[in-house]
Amino acid sequence: MSERVAVRKTYKLFIGGKFPRSESGRSYLVQSSNVSLASRKDARDAVVAARAAVKGWAGATAYNRGQILYRAAEMLEGRRAQFVALGVPGDEVDAAVDRWVWYAGWADKLAQVYGGANPVAGPYFNISAPEPTGVIAVVAPERPALLGLVSVIAPAIVTGNTVVVAASPSEPLAAVTLAEVLATSDLPGGVVNILTGAITETVPALAAHMDVNAIDLTGVIDTALATDLEVKAAENLKRVLRPASADHDWFADPGLARMTALLETKTVWHPKGV
Amino acid sequence: MFEYAPAPESRSVVDLKPSYGLFIDGAFVDPTDGDSFKSINPASEEVLAEIAEAGASDVERAVRAARKAYDKVWGPMPGRDRAKYLYRIARLIQERSRELAVLESLDNGKPIRESRDVDLPLVAAHFFYYAGWADKLEHAGFGGNPRPIGVAAQVIPWNFPLLMLAWKIAPALAAGNTVVLKPAETTSLTALLFAEICQQADLPPGVVNIVTGAGDTGRALVEHPGVDKVAFTGSTDVGRAIARSVAGTRKKLTLELGGKAANIVFDDAPIDQAVEGIVNGIFFNQGHVCCAGSRLLVQENVADRVLESLKRRMAQLRVGDPLDKNTDVGAINSAAQLERIRELSDAGSAEGAERWSPPCELPDRGFWFAPTIFTGVTQAHRIAREEIFGPVLSVLTFRTPAEAVEKANNTPYGLSAGIWTDKGSRILWMADRLRAGVVWANTFNKFDPTSPFGGYKESGYGREGGRHGLEAYLNV
Amino acid sequence: MTATTTSARSELSELGRSETALRTFLHGLPGVDQVGAEQRAAQLGTRSIKTTAKAQAIDLAIRMVDLTTLEGADTPGKVRALAAKALRPDPADPSCPHVGAVCVYPAMVPYVAEVLRGSGVHLASVATAFPSGQAPLEIKLADTRAAVAAGADEIDMVINRGAFLAGRYKEVYDEIVATKEASGDAHLKVILETGELATYDNVRRASWLAMLAGGDFIKTSTGKVPITATLPVTLVMLEAVRDFREATGRQVGVKPAGGIKTTKDAIKYLVLVNETVGTDWLDPDWFRFGASSLLNDLLMQRTKLTTGTYSGPDYFTLD
pLDDT digits (tens, 9 = 90+) for C228-273: 999 999 999 999 999 999 999 999 999 999 999 999 999 999 999 9
Q: Which residues of B touch C275 (CB under 8 A)?
A: 316
Contact A272 C33 (CB under 8 A): no
pLDDT of residue A273: 97
Domain with residue B380: its CATH number is 3.40.309.10
Q: Using the 8-state DSSP alphabet, how is residue B254 labeled?
A: E
Measured between CB atoms, which of B248, B427, B460 is closest to A237? B460
Contact B443 A271 (CB under 8 A): yes
Q: Which residues of B touch A213 (CB under 8 A)?
A: 457
Same domain flag for B168 and B212: yes
C95 touches chain B (CB under 8 A): no
In this complex, is the C-beta atom of A274 within 8 Å of any C-beta atom belonging to chain C?
Answer: yes
Counted domains in chain C: 1
Contact criterion met (CB < 8 Å) for B431 and A268: yes
Residues B103 and B223 in one domain: yes
Dist. CA B5–CA B238, nearest whole Å: 43
Within a domain: C317 = no
Q: Kindly state whether residue C315 falls inside one of the protein's structural domains.
A: no
C-alpha angle with apex C59: C56 to C61, nearest 5 degrees?
105
Q: What are the φ and ψ backbone dihedral angles of A35, each rounded to 5 degrees?
A: -115, 140
Q: CB-CB: which of B247, B257, B438 is closest to A230?
A: B247
According to DSSP, the β-strands at A192-195 and A162-166 are parallel
CATH architecture of the domain with residue range A27-271: 3-Layer(aba) Sandwich (3.40)
In angstroms, the first-to-last Cα distance of chain B is 62
| Chain B interface disruption, residue of A258, A268, A272, A274, most B CBs within 10 A | A268
- B154 lies in the same domain as B19: yes
Lowest mean pLDDT among B24-28, B35-39, B151-155, C131-135: C131-135
* For range C299-313, the mean pLDDT: 91
Q: Is the pLDDT of residue C5 over 80?
A: no
Give the distance, in angstroms, between the CA of residue A8 and the centroid of all CA atoms in the same chain.
27
Confidence band, pLDDT 50/70/90 cuts, at residue C1: very low
Q: Tell me, yes or no, whether B144 and B291 share the same domain.
A: no
Spatial separation of the C-alpha atoms in residues B383 and A234, rounded to whole Å? 25
Which tens digit of pLDDT belongs to each residue from C148-199?
999 999 999 999 999 999 999 999 999 999 999 999 999 999 999 999 999 9
In a domain, C314, yes or no: no
Q: What is the pLDDT of residue C316?
A: 87
pLDDT tens track for A22-72 = 999 999 999 999 999 999 999 999 999 999 999 999 999 999 999 999 999
- CA nearest to B242 within chain A: A234
Burial of C249 (C-beta count, 10 Å sphere; 0-12/13-18/19+) = middle
Q: Is C122 helix (H, G, I), strand (E, B) or coil?
A: strand
Has residue C223 been placed in a domain? yes
Residue in chain A lying closest to C199 (CA): A274
Distances (CA, A) of C283 to B317, C255, C280: 22, 12, 7
Express each pLDDT in B88-125 by its tens digit.
Answer: 999 999 999 999 999 999 999 999 999 999 999 999 99
Give C-chain residues touching B3 at CB under 8 angstroms.
52-53, 56
Residue C56 belongs to domain with CATH number: 3.20.20.70
From C8's Cα to the closest Cα of chain A, the distance in A is: 31
Query: What range defines the domain where residue B413 resides?
Result: 262-441
Q: Which pLDDT does position C6 carry in this prediction?
A: 65
Q: Which residues of C are catalytic?
A: 156, 219, 255
User: Residue range B182-190: average pLDDT?
Assistant: 98
Sort out which chain A residues have CB atoms less than 8 A from B414's CB and list them.
264
CB distance from C34 to chain B under 8 Å?
no
CA angle B433, A239, A210 (to 5 degrees): 75
Residue B30 domain flag: yes
Angstrom distances, CA of residue B243 to CA of A271, B200, B219, C233: 37, 36, 12, 51
Q: At residue B44, does pLDDT exceed 90? A: yes
Q: What is the pLDDT of residue B474?
A: 97
Distance CA(A5)–CA(C77), nearest Å, equals 123
Please list, in sequence order, all residues whose beta carbon lies within 8 angstroms of the beta carbon of residue C289, skipping any fewer than 6 positions away: C61, C64, C65, C66, C255, C256, C257, C260, C266, C269
For A273, half-sphere exposure in the C-beta direction (CA atoms, 13 angstrom radius) is 24
Averaged pLDDT for residues A1-29 = 93
CATH number, domain with residue B217? 3.40.605.10
Structural domain containing residue C8:
3-308
pLDDT digits (tens, 9 = 90+) for C68-102: 999 999 999 999 999 999 999 999 999 999 999 99
In whole numbers, what is the pLDDT of chain B averaged over residues?
A: 97
Rounded-to-integer distance, Cα A132 and Cα A193, Å: 17
SS3 B145: coil
Q: How many domains does chain B contain in total?
A: 2
Q: What percent of chain B has pLDDT over 70?
A: 100
**How is chain A split into domains, by residue range?**
27-271
pLDDT at B253 over 80: yes
* Chain A residues within an 8 Å CB radius of C31: none
The whole-number pLDDT of residue A136 equals 98
B270 at interface of C, judged by CB pairs closer than 8 A: yes
Active site residues of B: 256
* DSSP annotation of B379: T
Per the CB < 8 Å rule, is C199 touching A274? yes
Partners of residue C33 in chain A, C-beta under 8 Å: 271, 273
B269/C30 Cβ within 8 A? yes
> How near does any CA of chain A get to the CA of B49, in Å?
36
Chains A and C form CB pairs within 8 A to the count of 15
Of B240, B448, B463, the CB nearest to A237: B240
Any chains having at least 3 CB pairs less than 8 A from chain B are: A, C
What backbone torsions phi and psi does residue B11 show, to the nearest 5 degrees?
-80, -10
Residue A56's Cβ-side half-sphere holds a number of Cα atoms within 13 Å equal to: 11
C26 assigned to some structural domain: yes
Q: Strand pairing partners for A240?
A: A215
User: Does the pLDDT value for residue B33 go beyond 90?
Assistant: no
Distance from CA of B12 to the nearest CA of C (A): 19
Which residues of chain B from 330 to 369 reach within 8 Å of chain C, CB to CB?
Answer: none
Q: Is the pLDDT confidence value at A1 over 70?
A: no
Cβ-contact A130, A159 below 8 angstroms: yes
Model confidence at C120: pLDDT above 70: yes
Residue B337 has pLDDT above 70, yes or no: yes
Q: What is the mean pLDDT of residues B315-320?
A: 97
**Which of A267, A270, A274 to mutate to test binding with chain B, by most B CBs within 10 Å of its CB?**
A267
Could you give the CA distance from residue C1 to residue B456 in angstroms, rounded to a whole number?
A: 51
Read off the pTM.
0.96
C31 CB within 8 Å of a chain A CB: no
For A270, the closest of B248, B438, B442 (CB atoms) is B442
> Would you call C40 and B326 a contact, using CB atoms and an 8 Å cutoff?
no
The answer, for C28 touching chain B at a CB cutoff of 8 Å, is: no
The answer to whether the CB atoms of A273 and C34 lie below 8 A apart is: yes
Question: Pick from C36, C198, C199: which is nearest to A271 by CB?
Answer: C36
Q: How close B32 comes to chain A (CA, Å)?
A: 33
Q: Is the CB of B145 inside 8 Å of chain A's CB atoms?
A: no
